[in-house]
Structure 1
Amino acid sequence: MLAASLGRVDLHGWIALGTLAAAAALFLSRRLPLALVALAIPVVLFATGTLRDPADALAGFRSPALVALGAVFVLGAGLQGSGVTTLVARALGRRGRGAPGRLVLLVCLAAAALSAVMPNAAVVAVLLPAVLAVARRAGVAPALLLLPLSFAAILGGATTLIGTAPNLLLAESLREAGGGELGMFAFLPAALPAALLGIGFLALAAPRVLARREGDPESEAGATDPQRLVQQYGLSGKLTRLRIGRNSRLLGKSLVEAGLGRRYGVSVMAVEHAGGGPRWRAPEPDYRLQWGDDLYLEGDEEAVWRLAEEQEARIGLTTAGHADRVLDHGIVLAEAMVAPRSPAVGRTLDELEFRRRFGLSVLALGRGGRPLQEHLGSVPLAVGDTLLVAGQRRALDELRRDADFILLTDPAAEAHDLGKAPLGLLFLLVAVLPPVFGWAPFAISALAGAIGMAATGCVPLADSGRLVEWRVLALIAGTMPLGLALERHGVAAAAAAAVARLAAAGPGPALAGLYLLAALLTSVTSNAAAAVVLAPVALGAAGASGLDPGTAALAVALGCSCAFLVPFSNQCHLLVLGRGGYRPRDFLVLGLPVSLLAGAVVVGVLAHF
Structure 2
Amino acid sequence: MTLEIALVLLILAGALLLFVTEWVRMDVTALMVLSALAMLGLVSPADAVSGFSNAAVITVLAMFILSEGLTRSGIADIITRGIQHVAGHGEARMIAVFMLVSGVLSAFMNNIGVATLMLPVAVEVARASGIAPSRLLMPLAYGTLLGGMMTLIGTPPNLLVSMTMVEGGVDAFGFFDFAWIGLPALLAGTAFVALIGRHLLPKTDTTATISGQRDLRRQYSLQERIFALRVPADSLFVGKTLADTALPTSANLMIIAVTRHGRTEALPDRKKVLQAGDVLLAQGRRDRFEMLRRWNSLAIEREAPMLLARLWEKSAMVEVVLAEDASIIGEPLRHRPFREQHGANVLAIRRGNTIRRTRLSNMTLAAGDRLLLQCAEDNLDRLGESKEFTAVARLTETDLKETYQLDERLFVLRVPKDSELAGTTLAENRLGDAFDFRMLGIFREGEVTEWPSSDEVIEGSDLLLIQGREEDLDVLRGLQQLEILDDAAPYLDVFELGKLELVEATMHPRAKLEGRTVADLKLRERYEVEVAALWRDGESRRSGLGSMALKSGDAMLIVGPKRHLSLLNDDEDLIVLTPVHAKPVDSSKAPLAGAFMLAMVAVAMLGWMPISVAALAAATGMVLTRCLTMDQAYAAIEWRTIFVIAGMIPLGVAMQQTGAATYLAAGVLGLLGPFGPWAVIAGLYAFTTAGTLMIPAAALVLIMAPLALSLAVELGVSPAAPLMAVAIAVCASLSSPVSHPANILVMGPGGYKFIDYLKLGLPLQLVVFLVAALLMPFVWPL
Equivalent residue runs for 1:83-482 within 5 Å: 83-210=74-201, 213=203, 215-217=204-206, 220=208, 224-236=211-223, 239-242=226-229, 263-272=250-259, 280-283=265-268, 288-292=271-275, 295-305=280-290, 306=292, 309-310=475-476, 312=478, 314-317=482-485, 318-410=487-579, 413-482=582-651
Moved more, 354-363 or 372-381: 372-381
C-alpha separation between the residues in 1 aligned to 2:98 and 2:129? Answer: 13
Provide closer, same or farther for how the CA distance between residues 224 and 544 of structure 1 changes in structure 2, counting only shifts above 3 A.
closer
Contact 1:124-1:153 at 8 Å conserved across structures: yes
C-alpha separation between the residues in 1 aligned to 2:520 and 2:246? Answer: 13
Provide closer, same or farther for how the CA distance between residues 281 and 512 of structure 1 changes in structure 2, counting only shifts above 3 A.
same
C-alpha separation between the residues in 2 aligned to 1:176 and 1:163? Answer: 21
C-alpha separation between the residues in 2 aligned to 1:75 and 1:422? Answer: 14
C-alpha separation between the residues in 1 aligned to 2:545 and 2:36? Answer: 38
Residue-by-residue CA offset, 1:161-181 (whole Å, 9 max, x unaligned): 111110011112222333223
One-letter amino acid matched to 1:180: D
One-letter amino acid matched to 1:582: Y
Say which SS state the counterpart of residue 523 (structure 1) adopts: coil
C-alpha separation between the residues in 2 aligned to 1:321 and 1:13? Answer: 75
C-alpha separation between the residues in 1 aligned to 2:678 and 2:728? Answer: 15
Provide closer, same or farther for how the CA distance between residues 43 and 251 of structure 1 changes in structure 2, counting only shifts above 3 A.
farther
C-alpha separation between the residues in 2 aligned to 1:422 and 1:91? Answer: 17
Provide closer, same or farther for how the CA distance between residues 520 and 98 of structure 1 changes in structure 2, counting only shifts above 3 A.
same
Say which SS state the counterpart of residue 634 (structure 2) adopts: coil
**Identity, % of aligned positions:** 33
Provide closer, same or farther for how the CA distance between residues 261 and 19 of structure 1 changes in structure 2, counting only shifts above 3 A.
farther
Contact 1:531-1:560 at 8 Å conserved across structures: yes
C-alpha separation between the residues in 2 aligned to 1:259 and 1:528? Answer: 50
Is 1:518 the counterpart of 2:688? The answer is yes
Moved more, 478-487 or 389-398: 478-487
The structural deviation recorded for 1:333 is 0.7
C-alpha separation between the residues in 1 aligned to 2:59 and 2:170? Answer: 20
Q: Once superposed, what is the RMSD of the aligned Cα atoms? A: 3.0
1:576 — aligned with what?
Answer: 746
Say which SS state the counterpart of residue 363 (structure 1) adopts: strand
Moved more, 155-164 or 378-387: 378-387
Provide closer, same or farther for how the CA distance between residues 172 and 267 of structure 1 changes in structure 2, counting only shifts above 3 A.
farther
Q: When you count strand as a share of all residues, which structure comes out higher? A: 2
The match for 2:31 among 34, 39, 49 is 39
Provide closer, same or farther for how the CA distance between residues 272 and 485 of structure 1 changes in structure 2, counting only shifts above 3 A.
farther
Provide closer, same or farther for how the CA distance between residues 545 and 238 of structure 1 changes in structure 2, counting only shifts above 3 A.
closer
Q: Which has the higher contact order (CA 8 A, sep 6+)?
A: 1
C-alpha separation between the residues in 1 aligned to 2:251 and 2:59? Answer: 48
Moved more, 237-246 or 544-553: 237-246
Q: TM-score, normalised by structure 2?
A: 0.70
Residue-by-residue CA offset, 1:84-109 (whole Å, 9 max, x unaligned): 22222222222232432222111111
One-letter amino acid matched to 1:145: L
C-alpha separation between the residues in 2 aligned to 1:582 and 1:266? Answer: 28
Unaligned runs of 5+ residues in structure 1 are: 1-7
C-alpha separation between the residues in 2 aligned to 1:251 and 1:122? Answer: 51
The match for 2:12 among 15, 20, 27 is 20
C-alpha separation between the residues in 2 aligned to 1:135 and 1:557? Answer: 33
Moved more, 565-574 or 508-517: 508-517
Q: When you count helix as a share of all residues, which structure comes out higher? A: 1
One-letter amino acid matched to 2:506: M
Say which SS state the counterpart of residue 312 (structure 1) adopts: helix
**Larger radius of gyration, structure 1 or 2?**
2
The structural deviation recorded for 1:145 is 1.5
Residue-by-residue CA offset, 1:184-206 (whole Å, 9 max, x unaligned): 21211111112211111111113
Unaligned runs of 5+ residues in structure 2 are: 293-433, 435-473
C-alpha separation between the residues in 2 aligned to 1:468 and 1:70? Answer: 6
One-letter amino acid matched to 2:272: L
C-alpha separation between the residues in 1 aligned to 2:580 and 2:267? Answer: 22
C-alpha separation between the residues in 2 aligned to 1:427 and 1:260? Answer: 56
C-alpha separation between the residues in 2 aligned to 1:226 and 1:445? Answer: 48
2:769 — aligned with what?
Answer: 599
Q: TM-score, normalised by structure 1?
A: 0.88
Contact 1:283-1:360 at 8 Å conserved across structures: no
Contact 1:98-1:138 at 8 Å conserved across structures: yes
C-alpha separation between the residues in 2 aligned to 1:271 and 1:456? Answer: 51
Residue-by-residue CA offset, 1:319-348 (whole Å, 9 max, x unaligned): 134233345242111110101111223322
Say which SS state the counterpart of residue 558 (structure 2) adopts: strand
C-alpha separation between the residues in 1 aligned to 2:57 and 2:109? Answer: 15
C-alpha separation between the residues in 2 aligned to 1:475 and 1:106? Answer: 34
Provide closer, same or farther for how the CA distance between residues 186 and 325 of structure 1 changes in structure 2, counting only shifts above 3 A.
same
The structural deviation recorded for 1:387 is 0.8
Provide closer, same or farther for how the CA distance between residues 485 and 588 of structure 1 changes in structure 2, counting only shifts above 3 A.
same
Provide closer, same or farther for how the CA distance between residues 349 and 521 of structure 1 changes in structure 2, counting only shifts above 3 A.
same
